[in-house]
Each structure stands twice: as structure tokens, then as C-alpha cells.
Amino acid sequence: MADASTAKLTINGKLYEVGPDVTVGTNLVDFLHSQGLTGTHYTCRKGGCGSCTVVGKYTDPSTGENKEYAFNSCLAMVHACDGWEITTVEGLGNRHDGYHVVQDRLADFSGTQCGFCSPGMVMNMYGLTQQKKDGWTASDAEHLLDGNLCRCTGYRPILDAWKSVTPQDIESGGNTYANLPRDIVGGGVTLYQPDSIQALYDTLNGLEDDTKYKLSCGDTGKGVYNDEDITAYINTRTVTELNSQEATDENLVFGSAVSIADVISTLEEAAKTRPGYSYATLLAKHWRHVASTQIRNLGSWAGNLGLKATHSEFPSDIFISLVGTDATITTGLASDGSVTSHTVEELVTFDFRSE
């Protein structure tokens, strides 16, 4: 993999390069503001209020297909969006070019008062329309509100506005350019982006013993625990094998970079189409209460377990539910490539730096 010092991403159709003067670990929302795109707001910087919501599109390395969803720009690293297409509220619609139907509908239903939450509300709904282009339900629209706070409206007019939007109202956008993973350096911090398990092992084996590194997928955990003095991030979202999913009549297998939202979708589908998985409906329902729509879109299920492993006090519902289903976790040892299976309970004493 060739070394590189810049990340490249498109924002509202314009190509941006994130140079080496921008420190790896910088949040996307801060980069947006540095470029004058201040329509994306921020308040809590913990993924709780939703005012920073944007929509991202990238190519899944496991399937080669585009994925598009809303997420918190206050948590996502701008360098980890290398190769992505980002849409902010300015790019969705504005007074010069005309407003998008989602924006118009919010205004038509008097869904905004002070207006601070409105950009995030709009982008979350737009993300749903791109994530479920074949159609969505009123229940889907209701679930969106778990990721956005509004202190003015009482939510009713916003919910009415979202329920009025139909697939016929929406036109799909363009395609992303090819996302070619490459290592990025900024502000003396490195983001490694391996594209395979072997490349991941090579990266880990190549680090100095005293390197303070972090395996990162969506990096949503920093909304709870903010690690300091990280000198190297390793992006697991670019690893092809870790994005894979497999559903058989015997097992459901998820790579560690699969998002919580994608696991939920697979669980619901398995419950409908495969014998012996009726319990998956309850599991999916339980996981829908984890965090918010935006965080479930960006964060991985394994990252949630990683927080539990490194912070035993972390109240992980995913951990509890996987213990209840007798799930097993398979890990790999970077030094020799060997794999080992563990019970979920063993994770609370597991040393993730060794495997």
C-alpha cells in the first residue's frame, strides 16, 4: 500500500484534499467549519444531540456496493472519510439553488422554531431516504428521532413532516469515486488503512513497541471515552474481510467492521426467512435501543464490545444480548495469523493489543 499524506473526499460534489497540516483524529465537523460549511452545527460533541448530522456514501470493500447513511460528524474522523462522498445541509439545498423536498416539508409542517436542530433533523431524514430507496415506513421515521434533540417543537410537527415524505418525492444522487485505501499522515499522527486481514497484521507487526495506537471503525466510542495521545489509528472499515456477513441455517457470522445498523437488518431478515432464528427479531429490537440512528449507522458491533472490554463499567446492551445468545468471538493473532474462539464473557478480561 502506497504511503500518502492527504485524504481526498468529496463534499457536496466538490473534491477536497485534507493536507498533512490537519492532524489525524480531527473531527469531520471541524473540517467542515474550517471550509466555511457552518450549516452543520455541533453542541454536545458526543453524538447525543444530532445537530452535526451529515450523510456519507462510500464503497463497501466486502461487496463493492455503495452504502449511504446519516452519521455524526462530531465523532467521525475526517481522514477516515477518505474516498467518501459527504453531503451537508448546504449541499442538499439552499436559497440560491432551491431547497430539497425534505427541507421544504419541514418548513411546510412548521417543524422548525429556533432552527438550531433543523439541519441535523433534515440530514437524518435524507439519510433514511437514501438508505431505504425502495421505501420506508412511518415507524422508520419515528425511529429517526432517537438521534436528534429538539428543545422547541415537541417533535410532533417534525414527525408529521417526515411521515409525509414518500419515495416518489426523492431523486437519487450520484456515485462516489473509487475509494482506494492508503495510509495518511497529518499533524504527526498516522491513519493506517489496510485493505485485508494480512495487511492489518503487517501494520500491527510494523508498529514500534511503544506506539500508542487505536483500532478504529467509526470511532464513535470517543463520545463516551476520549483517548488521548494516540499516535496511530488503524481503520478497520477498509479491511475487506472484516466487512463481510454470512447467514446460513446454522450460523450468522459478522465481521468486526459491520455496523450495528447492518447487523440489525440481517437479524430481521434472518428471522423472516430462515428456520430457527425467530429470536433474532427480539435481538434486533433490543439493539435498536443502542445509542442513536446515526451512531448505529457509523459504529460497529465489535467496537461496542471493545468498549466493554477496555472499560468494564461500560453498560453494553450488545454485550449482554450476545451473552444471552451464546455467541462466540473469533480473534486473530497478528504475530502468526492463528485464530482463536472466545466466549463473549471472556472479553471483559481480554487483551485486545495482543490479538
Whether residue 212 is contained in a domain is answered as no
The C-alpha cell at 114 is: 429556533
Domain hosting 281: range is: 242-349
Residue 331, classed as helix, strand or coil, is strand
Report whether pLDDT(114) > 60: yes
Considering the domain architecture, whether residues 176 and 278 belong to the same structural domain is answered as: no
Per-residue pLDDT of 249-265, as tens digits, reads 999 999 999 999 999 99
Do 176 and 246 share a domain, yes or no? Answer: no
Is residue 171 located within the same domain as residue 26?
Answer: yes
Residue 245 burial (10 A CB sphere; 0-12, 13-18, 19+) = middle
Q: Find out whether 139 and 61 touch, Cβ atoms under 8 Å.
A: no
> Rounded CA gap, 68 and 70, in Å?
7
Q: How many residues does the chain have?
A: 355
Q: Is residue 227 part of a domain?
A: no
Indicate whether 14 pLDDT > 70. Answer: yes
- Is residue 5 scored above 60 in pLDDT? yes
Query: How many structural domains is the chain composed of?
Result: 2
Q: What is the CATH number of the domain that holds 304?
A: 3.30.465.10
**Given pLDDT bands bounded at 50, 70 and 90, which one contains residue 347?**
confident
Exposed/middle/buried for 33, CB within 10 Å: 0-12, 13-18, 19+? middle
| CATH code of 72's domain | 3.10.20.30
Asked if 264 and 115 sit in the same domain, the reply is no
Asked if the model's pLDDT at residue 354 lies above 70, the reply is no
Q: For residue range 201-242, what is the model confidence (pLDDT) as tens digits?
A: 999 999 999 999 999 999 999 999 987 789 999 999 999 999
Query: Do 21 and 132 belong to one domain?
Result: yes
Within-domain flag for 120: yes
- Quote the CA–CA distance of 203 and 197 in Å, as a whole number: 10
pLDDT for residue 1: 41
What are the residues whose beta carbons fall under 8 Å from the beta carbon of 104, sequence distance 6 or more?
Answer: none
